[in-house]
Amino acid sequence: MKTFEVVLTKSYIIKIKAEDKEKAKEYAELFTGDIKDISTENYRKKLSFKIVNIDCRVNQAFGAKEII
């Protein structure tokens, strides 16, 4: 198999309880982890691929609003 590097962007909405907006944004960035490889061995064999590594490059909160 050949090896490729793919740039992938994903966006998440995280509901968090915190004292204020700034802390909510900070804690959401700080305490969420990288995504994980969720492929199964069956899919890897059937489709002939393997995810070698996933490295988080951007971890930035873009906004926060209080939910009432």
Tens digit of pLDDT per residue, the chain (68 long)? Answer: 899 999 888 888 889 999 999 999 999 888 887 778 899 999 999 999 998 988 888 888 888 889 88
CA atoms within 13 A on the CB side of 37: 12
Vertex 23, ends 19 and 37: CA angle to 5°? 120
Q: Whole-prediction pTM value?
A: 0.67
* Cβ atoms of 25 and 64 closer than 8 Å: yes
CA 55 to chain centre: 9
Tracing tokens 């009432």 back to the chain, one arrives at 68
CA 53 to chain centre: 13
State how far the Cα of 16 lies from the Cα of 48, in Å rounded to an integer: 39
